[in-house]
Chains A and B, each alone.
Chain A
Amino acid sequence: AQKVTQAQTEISVVEKEDVTLDCVYETRDTTYYLFWYKQPPSGELVFLIRRNSFDEQNEISGRYSWNFQKSTSSFNFTITASQVVDSAVYFCAPRYGNNRLAFGKGNQVVVIP
C-alpha cells in the first residue's frame, strides 16, 4: 500500500495565526494527483485543493496555499489567518492508479478564539 505520513497529530493555534500542515508520501508512480481534504466534526469530507505531479508551481487560493516539492515527495498545506471554522481534521491524499486515494492519518487542527 502507498504510504502517507502526516506527522503532526494535533496542532493548536490562536485565531488569525497561520498553520502549516506537513505531508510526505511514497509513490512509485511517475504521474499522480495530490489532494487535501478537510473533515469537520460532522464527518463529511470537503475537497480543498488538488495538484498534479507534473506541475510544481505553488499557488494560493484564498486563505489556502500549498508547497509541492516532488523531489522530496512533500505536499505541505498552509492556512493563513486561521479562523475558528477551520477547526477540523485535514487529510493529505495522493491519488494513484484506478483513481484510488491513499489517506494519511490526518492533522487535527484546533483554532482557539
Chain B
Amino acid sequence: GAVVSQHPSWVICKSGTSVKIECRSLDFQATTMFWYRQFPKQSLMLMATSNEGSKATYEQGVEKDKFLINHASLTLSTLTVTSAHPEDSSFYICSAPTGDTEAFFGQGTRLTVV
C-alpha cells in the first residue's frame, strides 16, 4: 500500500532556532498534503494544506510566517517551524490523501523546544 515517510521522528532544539520536518510520499504522487499538530492527550488539529506548486493554505489562527510550508515536488512537502519556542513543542504529523482511499499518514515528529 501507499506509504508516507516523515522525518525526523523526533527532534530537540533550542529556543529561537528553526526546525524542518519532511513528509514524503514514497510510491505515489501527492499534489496535496496536510499538516496536523497534536498536543498531549488532544485531538489532531489541521494546521495547513500544502499544495504542490502553489502557496499553502493555512487554517485560521495558524501563523504562516512561523510555520513555513514548501511543496516543491509531487512527493515532498516540508514544514519549517521558525524561531521555535517551548509552546511550539508538540507532535506534528503529515498526511497525503489518495483519492477515495484512506489518507496515509507519516510516522509523526515529536518536537521538543528547550
**Which residues of A line the B interface, CB within 8 A?**
33, 35, 37, 43-45, 47, 50, 52, 91, 95, 98-106, 108
A4 to B76, CA, bound (A): 30
Q: Tell whether B32 is near chain A: CB-to-CB under 8 Å.
A: yes
Would you give the shortest CB distance from A10 to chain B, in whole angstroms?
10
Inter-chain contact B44/A44, CB cutoff 8 Å: no
Which of B19-27, B66-74, B96-104 interfaces with chain A?
B96-104
- With A43-B108, A45-B44, A103-B45 already in contact, 11 other A-B pairs whose C-beta atoms are closer than 8 Å: A44-B107, A47-B102, A50-B101, A52-B100, A95-B97, A99-B32, A99-B34, A100-B46, A100-B49, A103-B43, A108-B41
What's the interface size class on B, roughly?
A: 20 to 34
Inter-chain contact B103/A95, CB cutoff 8 Å: yes
Inter-chain contact A43/B107, CB cutoff 8 Å: yes
Q: Tell whether B54 is near chain A: CB-to-CB under 8 Å.
A: no
Q: Could you say which residues of chain B place their CB within 8 Å of the CB of A52?
A: 100
Q: Could you say which residues of chain B place their CB within 8 Å of the CB of A99?
A: 32, 34, 97, 103
State which of B34, B91, B106 has its C-beta within 8 Å of the C-beta of A101: B34
A104 to B105, CA, bound (A): 17
A69 to B93, CA, bound (A): 30
Interface positions of B from 55 to 82, Cβ below 8 Å from A: none
Inter-chain contact B43/A106, CB cutoff 8 Å: yes
A101 to B43, CA, bound (A): 12
